[in-house]
Amino acid sequence: MCGIFGVSGHAEAARLTYLGLYALQHRGEESAGIVSFDGKRSHAQQGMGLVADIFTEQSMRSLRGEAAIGHVRYSTTGSSIERNVQPFLANHRRGTISVAHNGNFTNTVSLREELEEAGSIFQTTMDSEIVVHCLAQSKVKDYRQRMIAALARLEGAYSLVLLLDDILVGARDPHGFRPLCLGRKDGAYVLASETCALDLIKADYVRDIEPGEVVFIQKKKLESVKPFPAVKPAYCIFEFIYFARPDSNIFGQNVYQTRKRLGQTLAAECKADCDVVMPIPDSGTSAALGFAQAAGIPLEYGMIRNHYVGRTFIQPSQGARDFKVKVKLNPIRDVLRGKRVAIIEDSIVRGTTTRVRVNTVRQAGAGKVCMCVSCPPLRSPCFYGIDFPSKKELIAARRSVEDIRAYLELDGLCYLSLPGMLQSMPLPAEHFCTACFTGDYPTPLPKKITKDILEKRG
């Protein structure tokens, strides 16, 4: 998964982008980058790690200009290399091009073959570089038409921000898988994956970029086109379930309130016979509040999150198994001892982490441990940008709910139903892609969805 941000026409373009990425950090912790354009030249700064660690006052000063885009990237197996840090920047006879991408093209393999056949040399394995080569090989003179022609070659899921010199471009694929919103700050337009990025820079939310829409922004003026035939929308429902920040609005709707509603519906479906309701912090926190209030069962913070848990951690040499999970959350014995506990979690992917947590709650003295999950079982991989593991590793793809309960050593396990999930959403059911739950993919998929493609996800 990734987060993207762009701004044009603001004297503090790079700094706003830095802040935007800071707010979008949860969408990608592996690497980050910013490219700015100062009227003549592009400037780039990027690195592996967290936004706060990569950029310095000195590097920010070098990012001159009134237009900038930025990107944060999630860790995906096999391609955690510095070369693949976005935005991808290239100098071309028509000027500089930089691209930041969130999503996943489904025709990467064939597109790349075509482009290399025509003489293109690829520096990276990123989708964003493909966009640049599509632009470079096009003979169309008008940059808008060239942009549209390049986008027309892309299939799959994308929200994109680009800089063509000082022109900021924003684009969302016709299905609208990934979010992208438009804001305004001191008269300048801003693009961001989520509204939390607008909040941090005190920009006003204007509207979402629509599925299939392309916007060209230059010197505080915005031009919008919708050049592609309309198709059924397919908003990623998992953004609401897990991925987006609770204080964000995505697809025009608040995430926290949606999660709380999922908890309420969950309480109606799962009649938990328990003394206390406790969330897995912080992923289950919003749903647990909704659950507790709807069920009339007291909420307790039975586990406390260690706020200093980062990525590096020196493990003890003995008994290190499960350590990473334990260092993050510590149960409170005095709260849990002898209680019948209903744990609220947002989702279960592999099940390994959940198993450790359940065990931790039990070790802390809980008398009975149940779990209520605020979405249905995850059964199918995502080809549109969420880095779920392969089908083999998704626990619900292979096992029944009863098997999962046994594996997790729970006294009870309850998933939210598909209708329950959809009815808790703030938008009609037909707006969403629910492929990870149902296996119904909203686009055709090429046969070659190879390991290679999986590695290129942005």
Q: Indicate which residues carry an active-site annotation.
A: 2
Largest CA distance in the chain: 73
Question: Radius of gyration of the chain from Cα atoms?
Answer: 23
206 binds its own copies, rule: CB under 8 A: no
Binding residue for its own copies, selected from 38, 48, 64, 120, defined by CB under 8 A: 120
109 binds its own copies, rule: CB under 8 A: no
Least distance in angstroms from the C-beta of 277 to its own copies: 11
Question: Which is closer to its own copies, CB of 135 or CB of 396?
Answer: 135
Least distance in angstroms from the C-beta of 222 to its own copies: 23
Binding residue for its own copies, selected from 159, 249, 434, 443, defined by CB under 8 A: 249
113 binds its own copies, rule: CB under 8 A: yes
132 binds its own copies, rule: CB under 8 A: yes
CA distance 341 to 272: 9
CA distance 448 to 442: 17
CB distance 5 to 173 below 8 Å: no
CA distance 340 to 366: 6
Binding residue for its own copies, selected from 268, 327, 429, 445, defined by CB under 8 A: 327
Question: Which is closer to its own copies, CB of 318 or CB of 402?
Answer: 318
- Number of residues in contact with its own copies under rule CB under 8 A: 77
142 binds its own copies, rule: CB under 8 A: no
Residues 282-301 that bind its own copies (CB under 8 A): 282, 285-286, 289, 293, 298-301
Long-range contacts formed by 438-442: CB under 8 A, 24+ apart: 438/379, 438/380, 439/379, 439/380, 441/383, 442/175, 442/232, 442/234
25 binds its own copies, rule: CB under 8 A: yes
Residues 387-446 that bind its own copies (CB under 8 A): none
CA angle 24, 30, 34 (to 5 degrees): 60
Residue type, 42: S
117 sits in which H/E element:
helix 108-117
Report the Cα 142 to chain-centroid distance in Å.
33
51 binds its own copies, rule: CB under 8 A: yes
SS3 state at 214: strand
261 binds its own copies, rule: CB under 8 A: no
Least distance in angstroms from the C-beta of 60 to its own copies: 6
Binding residue for its own copies, selected from 187, 316, 338, 444, defined by CB under 8 A: 316
CB distance 67 to 111 below 8 Å: no
Least distance in angstroms from the C-beta of 68 to its own copies: 13
